[in-house]
Amino acid sequence: MADIRADLSQYYAVKAMFERVLGRGAFMSVKDNGTLSSWRANYVKVLRAIGVAADSTVEIADDEWKTEMRSLLSRGVKRLAGAKSIDELHAAAAATLAELAFLQLGFVPRGHYNQKVVPLVARNWKLNAVRSVQYVQSPEQCATQKRLAKLRRTNG
């Protein structure tokens, strides 16, 4: 089991994500030697932000998807609350975020548990049996994407 060290490089990918998504204050709370409660608070805020983002961004979705999204987020917060170490906290966040990623693609596969190995072939991972996902852009959104891409190239 790892301990939280006074080391900027420890868990840096997550620290950087907190800063990008939640702002500089979130990063500073875990920068060098944040407490477990600081890490937990930031992860909970990320999950809550995902919930707010889903509610305000997803324009067309079935009620079951919305219910499952809320349920996954709630279960994730409970997992985080029960974590007794930084390793358990990261594991709780990783499991929740992986499930959310699958749900965003259609549904969370649940029938693979009885297979010894699940090959990474399309027939096992095509997740549109329950719902289809379609990403579309209006002309305004396309222009915004181009503008943001140009800003990223300019600012590094």
Region 148-155 average pLDDT: 92
Region 111-132 average pLDDT: 89
**Which contacts qualify for 61-65: CB closer than 8 Å, 24 or more apart?**
61/131, 62/131, 65/103, 65/131
Contact by Cβ (8 Å): 90, 14: yes
Count CA atoms within 13 Å of residue 110 on its CB side.
6
**3-state DSSP assignment of residue 110:** coil
Question: So where are the chain's domains?
Answer: 12-155
Q: What is the pLDDT of residues 53-88, one digit of tens each?
A: 999 999 999 999 999 999 999 999 999 999 999 999
Predicted pLDDT at 1: 63
DSSP 9: T
> Is the pLDDT at 32 greater than 90, yes or no?
no
Region 120-133 average pLDDT: 91
Q: What is the pLDDT of residues 20-29, one digit of tens each?
A: 999 999 999 9
Number of Cβ atoms within 10 Å of the Cβ of 154: 7
- What is this structure's pTM? 0.89
Region 85-110 average pLDDT: 95
> Is the pLDDT at 101 greater than 70, yes or no?
yes
Predicted pLDDT at 18: 97
